[in-house]
Chains A and B, each alone.
Chain A
């Protein structure tokens, strides 16, 4: 009985702590499923720096010159040069994503931006992870990723504790409740097999 009470309390408090993230996860799922990406916006600039530097150095200078707040420091996997002489840097921040193309011959910069709608912002924020984020990147992003990491664990703990509370109760188990679990398990298994 005592254990049951403790589990109930854990379920309640973890649930209350995770309210915002659970709503955010739900919005993100629905947004990704039905919302379409906005049209790209273009802007043009001139590079201020030495064009003979290595690609990664150029990318860092580009960020310094036209980078937005909370945009990460460019890393090798964010840059490419599919057309020779055109350096492409792909950047993502809570405000939107941008593709910056630098012409390494004349220094022209083309910035293609896709600003995030509220739903895409929710989707972007739900992807944050504590282990990928360092406090030096941005304290705000780090603080958010800490909350998201805790919420992922909450998402595991809530069904486990909730299931325990239901199973441990002495009264007979409701048939419809059991059916809902079996039906969703069967649905997931069938879809899993069909997709795999």
Chain B
């Protein structure tokens, strides 16, 4: 039994290492603001377009197929003069797009954020809501990582229980931690 538990613990542990490092890094960036690089690389281009539609779906299709713009639509706005403004984003990159329907001009303002911001976006985006299959897959993998993390905790406690030397002091550690968290969480939730 010990070997089975140890192998599960090892398998899960090694499988989630890359993702854990990503999440730990972004957690540190969130809590320590001086680690965050807020620089944005801006790139502005204007194109002449041959077709135009007020349907945002058609516009997004056109932007993706002809200009390689990938991401989810966050905002759309039709101005009084008939021009359309769109905000499309994916983790680490967002596009501010304006389409002048009278002059048939498309302006794409591409904003590329730093790697830190990209990782933070990966951390905060839930994945399942995205139109991008890669982001949805990221969401699936992250849920799997969370399930494996639960598995690691369970097998870790079971493995520790085999360890006679650390049983008493370990129990003390575990009890203090559980009591501390339970009291604080209880007060915060119901206090």
Contact = CB atoms under 8 A, between A and B. Distances in A.
B18 interface: yes
Contacts, number: 163
Q: Taking each of B13, B22, B92, B139, which has the highest tally of chain A beta carbons within 10 Å of its own beta carbon?
A: B13
Most buried by A among B24, B118, B126: B24
A20 B178 contact: yes
B149 A16 contact: no
B15 interface: yes
A159 B20 contact: yes
**How many interface residues does chain B have, given as a range?**
35 or more
A25 B134 CA distance: 23
Nearest to A138: B188
A194 B132 CA distance: 9
A77 interface: no
Contact of A166 (B10, B137, B188): B10
Contact of A177 (B11, B28, B181): B11
Interface stretch (B44-52, B56-64, B140-148): B140-148
B181 A20 contact: yes
A17 interface: yes
Contact of B134 (A21, A141, A166, A194): A194
B14 A166 contact: yes
7 contacts: A18-B177, A29-B146, A30-B143, A132-B31, A180-B15, A184-B18, A188-B18
